[in-house]
Structure formats: C-alpha cells, structure tokens
Amino acid sequence: LPVAALALAGTAAFAQASQPAPEPMPTPSPWTFDTELRALRTWRGGNTAGPLAEALRLQPGLTAAPASSSGLELHSRARWRGLSADALLAHERTDGGPGESTARFNELEGSGEAAGWGWNAGKKIVAWDVGQGFRPNDVVQQEQRRSLLASTPEGRPLLQAERFGADDALSLVWVNPHRLNAALEQQRRAEESALAARWYRRDGALDWHGTARVGRRTGASLGVAFAWVADDEVELHASARRLQRHDGWALADGTGGAPVAANPWQLGTQGAASQWLLGASWTGA
C-alpha cells in the first residue's frame, strides 16, 4: 500500500507540472483612436415660385443663384486616460467658386472623479432633453438640428460635475465660464455664460427630467420633461420650459413698414416666453 500511494502521488504531480501555465490577461490600452472620411456632394437649385422668383424674373441677377458644392470631411476621435478629443477637418468647394476649409475641435476635455462626483473640464457636447428635432430643455448645447446631413455638433466650453445613483443622476454645469465678463451684446444664445442643472430619475418604463438655468443675459428658466416607453412599439415624450427672458427677432427701430434696402430684422432680448413639445415614436416589426 505505501508503494501504490507513492506511485499515485508521483503521477498526479507529473500531470500538474506538465500543464502549461495560464497566459496573463492582456492589459487594456489607455489609448484609443478612430477616424472616418466622408465625401459629400450637394446639389442646390432655386425655387421657381414665390415672390423672390418673381423678382428675379423682373430683374435677373438681383440675388446670387444657389451653387452646388462638393466636400470632404475627416472626423477623428482619440482618448488617452482622462483626456479625449474629437476633431473635424473639412473642405467645401462650390461649383465655379472658391473653396472654404474648416478645422475645429468638437470636443477637447479632461475628466476624472473626486469625492463620489465625476467631473469634466474643457470643450464638451452636453445635450439634454427628450425630443429629436426640437428640445426646449437643451439649455447647454443649444444645438442647431436643421442641417441637411447629420454631423457631430460643436461642443461648448464648460465645467461639469455629475453624481450618479442606481436610478437617478444630478448634473451641474457652468457653460462659457470664459465669457462671464464679456459684454451683454456678445452673450447671445449658446454664447451666453450660464449656470445649469439637471435632475434625472428612472421610474420603471418612465424617465423624468428637471432642468434649471440662470443666464447672465436671459435670466432664469425652469423646465420639466418625461419619456415613457409604453410597450415594445410605442414611446411617448413631452417637454416644457418657462423663460424669464429670451432672444428673438424684432424690427429695428425706425423702420416701420416702409421698404428698406437692408434686412430690418435684428436679434434682441425680449420678455418672458414658454417652449414646449409633445412627441411619440412608433417602431413596428
């Protein structure tokens, strides 16, 4: 029996020693990068009906005819640890005209965590609210969404702090801090220095959003929104916001109703206003 036990122990030890050691798990790289190139061709034509078309028939050359164009866009994204960048290089040339080049950072920001809060500093896209084409509570990004082709929007300079729970989140943002002491005429729409906050909570299939904003020029505003996934096919959403002041178009002083040679409409600060939307999405099999 002692001899048999010794032989079994030796066989077990040999089998264990002959197995290859497991390979160590690869360490994820702190560096990521991707890029895409897009070629564009846009055909434009003038409207043959309406008052402008009638004026052009009476006086050809009154306004320049819309020109078609071709373009290239190079969109690159990179991230290294807590730093990230999103860059756009674009060139567009109109038919028979000069070319125009664009180079910008859509995002260039640093991020991290401290005392249970996540933070971001730099140029970043922060788009709130629940709508697709129009968002009353998109008080930070204030994105223009009526472009012909979808593209990555340009972010806003900001400082942001966020805290996340299992079913809720709180975001605090100071947008355009570098414009705090700029002249009021230079603080229009998305260029305004402002403090904003958003509270979010998930209640089953229902999402609740609440926003508040205080702008240096337009004052205070409050908003609320919800999105409800009713079933596998139907989603309902609504959003509303009340503003103390807003930027809007108005006739310049002294123009009245008389014909003028230049555009009489000017952007100015107006009184209280409200914005709202009701929306639904249906997705079938």
- Give the separation between CA 138 and CA 134, rounded to whole angstroms: 9
Note the pLDDT tens digit of each residue in 56-77. Answer: 888 887 788 788 999 999 999 9
Ranking 85-89, 185-189, 240-244 by mean pLDDT, the lowest is: 185-189
Higher pLDDT, 15 or 97: 97
In the chain, the amino acid numbered 179 is R
Note the pLDDT tens digit of each residue in 7-31. Answer: 444 444 444 445 666 777 777 778 9
Higher pLDDT, 112 or 12: 112
Note the pLDDT tens digit of each residue in 232-269. Answer: 999 999 999 999 999 888 887 766 667 777 778 888 88
What is the phi/psi pair of residue 214, to 5°?
A: -130, 110
Map 221-242 to HEC letters.
Answer: EEEEEEEEECCCCEEEEEEEEE
